[in-house]
């Protein structure tokens, strides 16, 4: 009987020792770590690292030169009727439908272009049973903002930017079938990264309803 008790105690002691050894081995092993994430690319905002991408330029600390801008007036199908970037007396363009396409292109090789705008002003002649009357309408795309548009120095901006819009002449100011004619002006604006702007000459147009 005494021999059996001693044998049982030896077996239990060996079992406890194995558990302690296993637990100690687990504790001594270094903790697993996730693989290191790859380092982010330099200047992740640009494709070529430091500096700007081709066709882009970084906004300088100071820039005294404004951008350049041009405006194109075309038919709805895209055929160009007039285009200008310089001051001068341009002929009035006659439209054969109450639609047009206006395109502003801005360029600034050293300051970048932050925004381009297309604007249109219309003087609409309406007619009714009592005679004729006039209505005015001016639209800006995008609308003007109270805050001055200016980019942070070092920000990458495109050296060229374009905005092209299909525009329909106003009819709601008169009512359906009451538009007699529309005389108007189309012009563009470009603003560079330092907030300097260029405004194109105004292209005049006219539309005569049937």
Query: Strands 160-168, 99-107: parallel, antiparallel or unpaired by DSSP?
Result: antiparallel
Tens-place pLDDT, residues 72-117: 999 999 999 999 988 776 789 999 999 999 999 999 999 999 999 9
pLDDT tens digits, one per residue of 48-64: 333 445 599 988 888 88
Residue 163 in contact with residue 115, Cβ under 8 Å? no
Classified as helix, coil or strand, 20 is: helix
User: How many CB atoms sit inside 10 A of residue 116's CB?
Assistant: 25
Total-model pTM? 0.70
189/117 Cα distance (integer angstroms): 5
Query: Quick one: pLDDT at residue 170?
Result: 87
Distances from the Cα of 126 to the Cαs of 81, 105, 171, 182, 205, in angstroms? 26, 33, 9, 9, 17
Short-list 118, 78, 85, 120, CA closest to 205: 120
Q: What CATH class does 56-208 carry?
A: mainly beta
Q: Domain extents for the chain?
A: 56-208
Phi first, then psi: what are they for 7, rounded to 5°? Answer: -65, -40
Segment holding 51, helix H or strand E: none
pLDDT the model gives residue 98 = 94
Q: Which stretches of the chain score pLDDT less than 50?
A: 1-52
């Amino acid at each position: 009987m005494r021999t059996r008790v001693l044998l049982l105690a030896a077996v239990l002691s060996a079992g406890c020792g194995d558990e302690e050894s296993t637990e100690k081995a687990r504790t001594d092993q270094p903790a697993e770590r996730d693989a290191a994430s790859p380092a982010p690319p330099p200047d992740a905002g640009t494709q070529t690292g430091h500096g700007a991408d081709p066709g882009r330029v970084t906004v300088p600390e100071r820039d005294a030169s404004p951008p350049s801008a041009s405006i194109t007036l075309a038919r709805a199908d895209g055929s160009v009727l007039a285009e200008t970037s310089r001051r001068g007396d341009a002929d009035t363009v006659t439209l054969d439908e109450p639609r047009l396409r206006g395109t502003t292109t801005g360029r600034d090789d050293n300051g970048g272009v932050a925004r381009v705008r297309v604007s249109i002003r219309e003087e609409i002649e309406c007619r009714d049973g009592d005679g004729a009357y006039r209505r005015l309408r001016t639209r800006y795309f995008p609308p003007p903002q109270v805050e001055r548009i200016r980019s942070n120095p070092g920000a990458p901006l495109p050296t060229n930017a374009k905005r092209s819009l299909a525009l329909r002449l106003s009819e709601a100011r008169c009512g359906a079938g009451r538009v007699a004619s529309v005389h108007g002006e189309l012009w563009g604006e470009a603003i560079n990264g330092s907030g300097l702007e260029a405004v194109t000459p105004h292209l005049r147009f006219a539309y005569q309803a049937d």
